[in-house]
Structure 1
Amino acid sequence: VIYYAKRLIELHGTKGDILTAMVDKAKDLPEYSIYQSIPGFSDKTVVSLIAELGDLHRFRTANKLNAFVGIDLRFNDSGDYKSTGFITKRGNSTARKVLFRAISNIASTASYGHPSHINDWYQKKKQSSLSKGTKKIAIGAMSRLLRTMHYLAINHQLYDYKAASKH
């Protein structure tokens, strides 16, 4: 037990060193400051998304980015049967996990005075549709977040709550 406890402490330290090195390398990238401007994004979230998504300029539309992550909707309709749709999950599962955690970070930082239009939409949907699961609402918020990130990266803009709330 003592060996495993020491090993765990060593691994935790190594993880911190790797994160610091990733942040040092990513600070020079233009996406770093853009993503950092989004409320609720920490250094770890930003470097994880840069690593998983890469350069967003290679996606012509935000829908293609959604498909890359695997949160694009698919329907199974046949005859009179109409499905509600489900995500394909044919994409980067690590990016989906990071984005899912990012949505909860965005929601929690909004209560500390860092609002975002993504959290406004997320909270409105949670209040209005009690029958839907919060995971489905979080997937919708992830889609909005990816659209926002794509727009900001393509136009080289920092996040601005007032400008985002108008749209």
Structure 2
Amino acid sequence: VEELIERYRQSEGLKCPQKPKIQKLLEVSRQSIGITQGQQMARIEIATLVRRYRQLEQEIAALTEQLIALAQTTVEYEWLQTIPGLGDATIVELLSEIGSFHQYQDPRQLMKLAGLTLKENSSGQHKGQKRISKRGRKRLRALLFRVMMPLIRHNEAFRALHEYYTTRPVNPLRKKQSIVVLCGKLLKILYAVCVKQQAFDGERMIRDISHTHTQAYA
């Protein structure tokens, strides 16, 4: 067990499991039939695949650096990086899906592009629930959902807005519903900071929450 733990620690990119799991692995391996033929070629094939994997990692890293450098030459990059929680890789993905924000006349066009516009499932006299249309760029929509979780954790304004949506006394949202709404909110903010060329203002977002809460009881 100790020898296997040491092998794990010396290997790059391998997470060392707990001792009970290693002990179980050893017990199972003693009862395993294993490969009895073609062992040498199997080792060669595995070594070849590992080398190719490492090569692809280096190529992806080099390409990512080039894309980040390209994104930094855009007008949008300066303002997008003012949003806490948006890293360079995310900015590259956003610009690759959306392009220049200046080519859009209204943030609602971005919401339509991402398939976040609401539609009602109705039939005859029956009115169903409103859901997002999903008629848009699937990768952009997936990116927004993927970005939203780190934003809720690391961006105070988005965290406060998520908490407000899910705990407000009137019409509270489920967590998933809140995330959908916040994705639309993020697109509006991205559009505003890029087109107006103003840095992200988290305090203003929090003040808007208080204002909305006051109006609800007015």
Whether the aligned pair in 1 keeps the contact of 2:161 and 2:206 (CA below 8 Å) is no
Of the three residues 94, 98, 108, the one matched with 1:63 is: 108
Quote the Cα distance in structure 2 between the aligned partners of 1:32 and 1:6. 35
Shift of 1:104: 0.8
TM-score, structure 1 normalization: 0.87
Compute the displacement of 1:36 (Å): 0.8
Q: Which amino acid aligns with 1:123?
A: E
| Counterpart residue type for residue 103 of structure 1 | M
Match of 2:47 in 1: 2
Q: How far apart, in 2, do the equivalents of 1:76 and 1:164 lie? A: 32
> Does the 8 A contact of 2:68 with 2:88 survive in 1?
yes
Between 118-127 and 9-18, report the one with greater CA deviation: 118-127
Superposed CA RMSD: 1.9
Work out which of the residue numbers 193, 209, 215 in structure 2 matches 1:152.
Answer: 193
Which residue, out of 108, 131, 134, partners 2:175? Answer: 134
Which one has more relative contact order, counting CA pairs under 8 Å at least 6 apart? 1
Distance 1:136 1:5, change over 3 A: farther
Matched to 1:122, the amino acid is H
1:51 aligns with 2:96: yes
**C-alpha separation in 1, matches of 2:112 and 2:127:** 22
The CA distance in 1 between the partners of 2:123 and 2:135, in whole Å, is 22
Q: Is the 8 A contact 2:82 2:200 kept in 1?
A: yes
Distance 1:52 1:152 in 2: 17
- Identity of aligned pairs, percent? 22
Partner of 1:124: 164
The size of the alignment, in residue pairs, is: 161
Structure 2's unaligned 5+ residue stretches are: 1-45, 209-218
User: What is the one-letter code of the residue matched to 2:192?
Assistant: Y
SS at match of 1:74: strand
The aligned counterpart of 1:39 is 84
Instruction: Look up the SS of the partner of 1:51 in the other structure.
Output: helix
Unaligned stretches of 5+ residues in structure 1? none
Equivalent of 1:22, from 64, 67, 78? Answer: 67
CA distance in 2, matches of 1:30, 1:119: 28
Distance in 2, Cα, partners of 1:37 & 1:122: 20
- For 1:162, the equivalent position in structure 2 comes to 203
Q: Which amino acid aligns with 2:93?
A: S
Shift of 1:132: 5.4
Question: How many angstroms does 1:107 deviate by?
Answer: 1.5
Q: TM-score, normalised by structure 2?
A: 0.68
Shift of 1:49: 0.3
